[in-house]
Amino acid sequence: MKKISTLQTFGNGIFKEGKLTIGVDLGDRWSSCCVLDEAGEIILEQKVATTPEAMKQAFEKIPRSLIALETGTHSPWISRLLRELGHQVLVAHAQKVQLITKSSRKDDRHDARTLARLARIDPELLGPVRHRSVQAQIHLTVIRARAELVRARTALVNAARGLVKSYGQRLPKCGTQQVSRELAARLNAELRDVLEPLLKEIESLNERIKEYDERMEKIAKESYPQVELLKQVKGVGTQIALTYVLTLEDPHRFPKSREVGCFLGLRPGRRNSGESQPQMHISKEGDRYLRTMLVQGAHYILGPFGADSDLRRWGLKLAARGGKSAKKRAVVAVARKLAVLLHRLWVSGEVYEPLRNSHQAMRAVA
């Protein structure tokens, strides 16, 4: 098929007939587009540069159309741009589109065709997702940037300790945030001279991470008062609460609080067939970073410093059942219940009562 520009096609009047369905397979440099008419016939296939200017030029003169694209690095800003141009946009969950991910004929042109046809038949087949707003995305980037610095700091600290061990020596034990050049004071002069730049870099990372911590506190205080509602739960700090609020953004998108656990991939998968009901691992769908944060919160709740609460008692009882990986399953289960609890507090605005269920049970018995 001859590839012609969008402007030429629009000028020839091809885009004036009925509502169009467009599939866009996003690439880092170029994106493939497939345009279907109301009858499902391909009327145009072309490539567009993955830049704001090129996307705007290609789609601004097209009548309001249904456009489907997959989640990816560029999908947030492109979906917002297309909506601003008046189009109806479907952002397909990449893991849900099996016809693309498991296709034996996978290429950009074929993927664009598949997206267009699925959107035309039934949009629900794409498992559509909703991207967060620009403000939420930039605030969440603060948290993600901090996480990258923490990861880099951990790698450098582990490297420093490993290098010292190879000489039969050890750095004193301390938290990563306390690591500094002073730790090398007892090392021999030659080794201390080698490690000083590395430890200096760790000190710099500690300062940058502290700056991000202050920035997160400021964002939470000025823009997201609901963070304080979530921090009522012991084990949930500003980082977890703010990440939760920014990731979900609109709590009313979930009719029931328990749906949040499924949304974050903390629900066991299911592959039942007939009498067979195998026990599956959690699906791990949804936002990986928030799921990690909730699991960390669950570890604290079940740990030695966790405050007494219904959630802690329930988790410890689950872990006490024994069996293979009992503690691990209990942590995941508590993380799922924590996600549900935080949503409930957010929606209702209630004051958190850690032992509410236990007190009610005691009053019922009395």
* CA atoms of 305 and 290, how far apart (whole Å): 22
- Segment 233-282, tens digit of pLDDT: 999 999 999 999 999 999 998 999 999 998 888 887 655 555 555 655 67
Give the per-residue pLDDT at 195.
Answer: 92
Fill in the DSSP letter of residue 322: -
CA angle 38, 40, 43 (to 5 degrees): 90
Residue 9 CA from chain centroid, whole number: 39
Q: How confident is the model at residue 108 (pLDDT cuts 50, 70, 90)?
A: confident
Give the per-residue pLDDT at 279.
Answer: 57
Give the per-residue pLDDT at 265.
Answer: 87
Higher pLDDT, 281 or 298: 298
Spell 268-306 as b/e; 16+ CB within 10 A means b.
eeeeeeeeeeeeeebeebbbeebbebbbbbbebbbeeeb
Give the per-residue pLDDT at 18.
Answer: 63
Give the per-residue pLDDT at 121.
Answer: 87
For the cut 90, the answer to whether the pLDDT of residue 347 exceeds it is yes
Q: Look up the pTM and report it.
A: 0.81
Contact indicator for 358, 317 with CB cutoff of 8 Å: no
For the cut 80, the answer to whether the pLDDT of residue 70 exceeds it is yes
Higher pLDDT, 189 or 127: 189
Give the per-residue pLDDT at 15.
Answer: 57
Give the per-residue pLDDT at 132.
Answer: 83
- Segment 21-47, tens digit of pLDDT: 999 999 999 999 999 988 889 999 999
Give the per-residue pLDDT at 101.
Answer: 61
For the cut 70, the answer to whether the pLDDT of residue 202 exceeds it is yes
Give the per-residue pLDDT at 358.
Answer: 81
Q: At 261, list the tokens.
A: 């656990």
For the cut 60, the answer to whether the pLDDT of residue 11 exceeds it is no
Give the per-residue pLDDT at 336.
Answer: 94
Residue 3 CA from chain centroid, whole number: 37
Q: At 22, list the tokens.
A: 């467009």
Q: How confident is the model at residue 105 (pLDDT cuts 50, 70, 90)?
A: low
Q: Supply the mean pLDDT for the chain.
A: 87
For the cut 70, the answer to whether the pLDDT of residue 355 exceeds it is yes
* CA atoms of 332 and 294, how far apart (whole Å): 9
